[in-house]
Amino acid sequence: MTWTMTGGLAEPRAPVLVLGIGNALLQDDGVGLRLLERVKETAGPAPDCEFIDGGTQGIALLGYLTGREKLVMLDAIGLGGEPGTVHVLRGGDIEGFRARRAATPHEGNALELLAMAKLLGEEPGEVVIVGVEPAAVRTGIGLSDAVEAALPRAAAAVKDILEGMRRRSDVFGDSGKDC
Amino acid sequence: MAKRIVVDPITRIEGHLRVEAVLDGGNRIQNAMSSGTMWRGIEVILEGRDPRDAWAFCERICGVCTTTHALASVRCVENSLGIQVPVNADIIRNIMFLTQMVQDHVIHFYHLHALDWVDVVSALKANPAATAALAQKAAPNWPLGTEGYFRDMAGTLKKFVDSGQLGIFQNAYWGHPAYKLPPEANLMAVCHYLEALKWQKEIIKIHTVFGGKNPHPNYIVGGMASAISMQGDNAVNIERLNLVRDQIMGAIHVVEDMYLPDLLAVAGFYPEWTTIGGGLGSYMVYGDLPRNGIGDPSKFLFPRGVILDKKLDEVLPVDPADPSQIQEEIAYSWYDYPNGKTSLHPWDGVTIPKYTGPKPPYKELDESKAYSWLKSPRWKGHPVEVGPLARMLVGFAGGRPEFKEVVTEALGRLKLGPEALFSTLGRTAARGLESRLAARWLLDEYNRLIDNLKAGDSTTADTRFWNPATWNAESKGLGFTEAPRGALCHWIHIKDKKIANYQIVVPSTWNASPKDGKGQHGAYEAALIGTPMADPKRPVEILRTIHSFDPCLACASHVLSPDGETLAEVIVR
């Protein structure tokens, strides 16, 4: 047999994955993808960070989590707050959502993805979800004004998180100053 | 007294489908309603855009079928502009298609459907030594099957379940008497669930090689964007092609040595499900996997055709370009057609929402009025089922040897006749048999690509019609494919270099459609009617039949339920 479970396209992986999730055809539902673009642009060269547009894929994204030390997910999160509110969820908060229902338009995806990674023993050591409270989740391209206006704040939050990760560990090494 | 069961939503993956079943006094389903509860309207987004960009939007319609929508989209534009793509482009598209199909079918079986048959909680009671003995008998060529392996895996599973994270195994009814597998068979299946989860991460890398990236691989009107240079560093080179070959060998191994043995083992415990859930008995396939260009359906690996009323001695011709054959009706849908029309061919199709249903959240729908955001596509007025069972039956009935071989062998193993195919289990089995064909065809297509490259042909795109100045003022086209869930077609009308109209009829719309003007049910509804329910409060029977279609209402009604993950809601009155 020429094939093994771990074989094939085994590329060196950046220790940090920034994963945008959402549907770009459903207005604010796609805020995670817009946020990803913005973070990517303002981050400059970041060899130790990988940025992936996950769209609305679920299980199929599992491969991108393998071998990561840290994961930052960007998504629309509906917690019943004011549209444009930026949410940052970490460990305990995320665990809470697993037991609850109905928090984000993609909960089935994002949380299922994390649970499956855990089942395989491949959950990244640190997981943070950054989300923006949506105003309009219906067919259409482009964000609502409130969510568009929240992008700079959300991007700043992601930047802080990435910097915090760098301070607290050596995963970024010397090359990741700009991440 | 009629009781009504509501299951909403029924999909484990994204999407929103609502099924209502009305029982008779003996707990048998006497009427069923399938409703898409969210409006889609992708067509509206595409109007006025550059046709060459349409695929990139279509790729975002569905989180599962990204490549199939992109394929149908570039094909409809090419058909409209009169472009014939180079041979290599067809082969690479076939490889992308087959990769998607095998990955999707394996995920469906293990991660979306198996839990309707396999009891995860019961697996924890299994004896590892007895499980190893069972695995040796059922799946002798699958390497992971020792007592120690099953003991370790059971430990991992127990830890996971004990941590209260059964969430991903939700939407099932553990301990329900309808689960018939012994604990050892349950444990074997759950272990293979995990192996499949690991494997699916690998196979999809084929899309990254040819599509440049994944998810959302690149397509291009006129061919494929994959630059191939056997010895180059910055293109698809021999090293990458070898990796593709390794992945294909892995897919064959997983399908033949794990998936099919599991499928047959599980099927053996549920013989009654070869007589339940058949439904319409009429099937339609557009066909795909061109061997002589998309214009020559006679050379498709998946043959085209229609079977009516279970008549396997006759395969009728189908043409998605013929307005008299394919019509979308709206008698029970929340749409409006102009001038009092009740059905339209997709080239003339319009998407005007007209919601007349109850204000959500609601307890029940009124089946005497419009009750779905899905239209009702019909072939010459007949409701038809699309998907793996349709494809296997059309190939089988048409006498294709490779179809006859896999179908006959599986039926022989289960000691069943062809009539067993018209059932819930037949649908589930067809998906596995199709995966076997698909994995083998992957290798065939790969070898064809290598032969072409060795012969010096590395052309992957025809860009002569890229410039809109070369286009006619007005043109129409269609792009069909066979998505994992069935026949998919995009219809386009290009005018003044822009999209004037774009209509998509997805497989789940054929299968999950509401009634038509003649009162004929769609495939889901027909399949549910007549099903006996053991315990109406825990309607595992409904899940089995609906999941056997592999519903993806992300395709049909577009998306993500606004309330996210929801357990099956069951209301009995």
Reported as a single tens digit per residue, the pLDDT across B542-570 is 889 988 998 865 322 222 222 222 323 43
Using the predicted structure, report yes or no on whether residue B294 has a pLDDT greater than 50.
yes
Using the predicted structure, report yes or no on whether residue B316 has a pLDDT greater than 90.
yes
What amino acid occupies position B503? Q
**Which residues from chain B sit within 8 angstroms of residue A25, using beta carbons?**
42, 45, 57, 60-61, 558
Using the predicted structure, report yes or no on whether residue B394 has a pLDDT greater than 70.
yes
Nearest-Cα residue of chain B relative to residue A54: B215
Q: How far is CA B306 from CA B272, B313, B319, B390, B519, in A?
A: 27, 11, 10, 8, 21
Q: What is the CA radius of gyration of chain A?
A: 16
Query: What residue has token string 């293109």?
Result: B235
Q: How far is CA B177 from CA B6, B189, B269, B392, B538, in A?
A: 21, 18, 13, 32, 10
Using the predicted structure, report yes or no on whether residue A9 has a pLDDT greater than 50.
no
In this prediction, the answer to ipTM > 0.95 reads no
Confidence category of residue A150, pLDDT binned at 50, 70, 90: very high
Reported as a single tens digit per residue, the pLDDT across A34-69 is 999 999 988 766 778 999 998 887 778 889 999 999
Mean pLDDT of chain B: 89
Segment holding A40, helix H or strand E? helix A31-43
Confidence category of residue B133, pLDDT binned at 50, 70, 90: very high
SS3 B85: coil
Using the predicted structure, report yes or no on whether residue B422 has a pLDDT greater than 60.
yes
How long a stretch of residues is chain B? Answer: 573
How many A/B residue pairs have CB atoms within 8 Å? 159
B215–A53 C-beta distance less than 8 A: yes
Q: What is the mean pLDDT of residues B446-456?
A: 96
B205–A98 C-beta distance less than 8 A: no
A53–B197 C-beta distance less than 8 A: no
Residues of B assigned a catalytic role: 14, 62, 65, 69, 485, 508, 552, 555
- The CA distance from B234 to B226, in Å, is 11
pLDDT at A170: 55
**Packing angle, helices B424-454 and B388-397, rounded to 10:** 80
Q: What is the mean pLDDT of residues A59-87?
A: 89
Q: What is the mean pLDDT of residues B371-381?
A: 94
Reported as a single tens digit per residue, the pLDDT across B134-192 is 999 999 999 999 999 999 999 988 988 887 666 666 556 778 888 999 999 999 999 99
Using the predicted structure, report yes or no on whether residue B264 has a pLDDT greater than 70.
yes
- The CA distance from B471 to B79, in Å, is 12
Reported as a single tens digit per residue, the pLDDT across B43-80 is 888 999 999 999 999 988 776 677 999 999 999 999 99
**Residue B164: CB atoms within 10 Å:** 10
Looking at B59-204, list the stretches that DSSP marks H as alpha helix, in order from N- to C-terminal side: 66-81, 87-107, 120-123, 128-138, 147-162, 183-203
Q: Which of B13, B216, B562 sits opposite A58 (nearest CB)?
A: B13
Tokens found for residue B259? 């998936």
Q: What is the mean pLDDT of residues A92-112?
A: 58
pLDDT at B366: 83
**Packing angle, helices B183-203 and B128-138, rounded to 10:** 60
Confidence category of residue A100, pLDDT binned at 50, 70, 90: very low
Using the predicted structure, report yes or no on whether residue B281 has a pLDDT greater than 80.
yes
pLDDT at B139: 96
**Which residues from chain A sit within 8 angstroms of residue B41, using beta carbons?**
139
- The CA distance from B512 to B515, in Å, is 10
Nearest-Cα residue of chain A relative to residue B566: A101
Using the predicted structure, report yes or no on whether residue B12 has a pLDDT greater than 80.
no
Query: What residue has token string 């509860």?
Result: B37
**Which residues from chain A sit within 8 angstroms of residue B253, using beta carbons?**
1, 3
Tokens found for residue B250? 């892995």
- The CA distance from A141 to A151, in Å, is 16
Tokens found for residue B380? 């010459």
Task: Tell me, yes or no, if A94 comes closer than 8 A to chain B by beta carbon.
Answer: no
Highest mean pLDDT among A101-105, A116-120, B22-26: A116-120
Nearest-Cα residue of chain A relative to residue B242: A8
Confidence category of residue B243, pLDDT binned at 50, 70, 90: very high
What amino acid occupies position B462? D
Lowest mean pLDDT of B167-171, B357-361, B521-525, name the range.
B167-171
**Residue B409: CB atoms within 10 Å:** 14
pLDDT at B7: 57
pLDDT at B536: 78
Confidence category of residue B11, pLDDT binned at 50, 70, 90: very low
pLDDT at A104: 41
Residue B364 burial by Cβ neighbours in a 10 Å radius (0-12, 13-18, 19+):
middle
Cβ–Cβ < 8 Å for B474, B349: no
What amino acid occupies position A111? L
**Residue B412: CB atoms within 10 Å:** 9
Domains, chain A, with CATH or none = 16-166 (3.40.50.1450)
Lowest mean pLDDT of A142-151, B292-301, B532-541, name the range.
B532-541
Residue B159 burial by Cβ neighbours in a 10 Å radius (0-12, 13-18, 19+):
exposed
pLDDT at B554: 34
Decide which of B414 and B5 is more confident. B414
| Cβ-Cβ contacts under 8 Å for B10 (sequence gap 6 or more) | B17, B18, B19, B542, B543, B546, B547, B551, B568
Using the predicted structure, report yes or no on whether residue B118 has a pLDDT greater than 90.
yes
Quote the CATH superfamily of domain B3-556: Cytochrome-c3 Hydrogenase, chain B (1.10.645.10)
Confidence category of residue B41, pLDDT binned at 50, 70, 90: confident
